[in-house]
A and B are shown apart, each in its own frame.
Chain A
């Protein structure tokens, strides 16, 4: 059925539910899972470059540590269910592009991502990134609710 699923996560409970859904799908077809957390790049500014440099390092270190914790938690879910799983984080200015690129690079054949309903929002506005991924991705995207 599928050989490798890409599951982008953002640390929310909804993302973890999408991981569980991907695990269920992966178990049917004996697929493995690739987890991804994309951290928005630190904005580059020329002004106060020295201070910015220190701030950027701090930002990247803390965001990286947080990403590893989320990836570890999601990975435990998968390994606990007997599904092979690895994960990584990356920095990118455009999150949806990074997701699509990683899906292609790792030969994934399905992207599973949380797209929670956002009550009170204008109709047509579900999770922005999920919609951007669907527009950019050549492989199917499962919007998990």
Chain B
């Protein structure tokens, strides 16, 4: 069973990771994913490609850290992916192309208005996903 676990470093995505670690299916092949928003042109224009790549690598790695630690501590094996782009678009694209069976996400992300609404990324993923989505609050 291929499971995609997109995280953004927020408390909600860490909860989703903890939930998956506890309810790990026996045949699970989990991919931990972070999608970093691209740097604005006005900023990226001053940097060379290596610096931009380094920036995204540092960002992505720091964002994956809480979930990575959780899953590793629970003794699970998993893959990691870091992508750059619009989070919802990239999650949907990878879920489809990678033929995942399930997407597991936190109910909220880093945005404001946390308790009232579902996160904007999770709403977009729910609206566009052809595979089941498990939303963990």
Contacts and interface: CB of A to CB of B under 8 A. Distances in A.
Q: Do A and B share a complex?
A: yes
Interface of A: 1-2, 21, 28, 115, 117, 123-126, 130-131, 134-135, 137-145
B135 A124 contact: no
A141 B134 contact: yes
B134 A134 contact: no
Contacts, number: 59
B94 to A, nearest CB: 16
Contacts of B127: 117, 123-126
Instruction: Categorize the interface residue count of chain B.
Output: 20 to 34
14 contacts: A117-B130, A123-B128, A126-B126, A131-B118, A131-B126, A134-B118, A135-B117, A135-B118, A137-B137, A138-B137, A140-B19, A143-B129, A143-B132, A145-B130
B118 A145 contact: no
Contact of A140 (B117, B124, B130, B135): B135
B135 A134 contact: yes
A137 to B, nearest CB: 7
B13 to A, nearest CB: 13
B132 A145 contact: yes
Interface string B49-89: 00000000000000000000000000000000000000000
